[in-house]
Amino acid sequence: MVGPGQGYVQFEGLLDTLMFPIVVPISPTQTLNRFAFTQPIGIAGTKFGKALINEIVNQLNQDKPIWDHKRFDAPPTLVGGDGPILKFRKYYSQFYPASTS
């Protein structure tokens, strides 16, 4: 994450690709998710570049049922591998409207 609702994922290897997920709240219980991709000249627009983006989109679509049923729990139910989610929530709570924090 590089800011509220902003981040990037870098895929490296045969076909370098950057994915920029942008998450925008549109109601207290809904977000609008957009994904932009960039690839180096020579890869972008080729069948291989398009195939990689299509595969990433397919994987995101497979996760959609999980995201559709995600809910906010305070406090969250955590497991060992969840990392510093409480610090993350505390930091990002400054960007929430007062009625949802």
The number of distinct structural domains making up the chain is 1
Cα–Cα dist 35/17, whole Å:
12
State pTM to two decimals. 0.68
Within a domain: 67: yes
| Containing structural domain, residue 14 | 9-72
Examine residue 101 and state whether it is found in any structural domain, yes or no. no
- Is there a domain that residue 40 lies in? yes
Asked whether residue 96 is domain-assigned, the answer is no
- The string of pLDDT tens digits covering residues 19-78 is 999 888 787 778 888 899 999 998 889 999 999 999 988 998 999 899 888 887 778 888
Tokens of 23: 């998450």
Asked, as a colleague might, if the bond just before 4 is cis with ω within 30 of 0, I would say no
56-80 b/e (C-beta count within 10 Å ≥ 16 → b): beeeeeeeeeeeeeeeeeeeeeeee
For residue 99, the model assigns a pLDDT of: 65
For the CA atoms of 62, 63, 65, 71, the dihedral, rounded to the nearest 10 degrees, stands at 180
Tell me the C-alpha distance between 77 and 1, whole Å: 21
CA–CA separation, 98 and 58 (whole Å): 36
Could you report the per-residue pLDDT of 73-101, keeping only the tens digit for each? 778 888 888 888 888 888 888 877 776 54
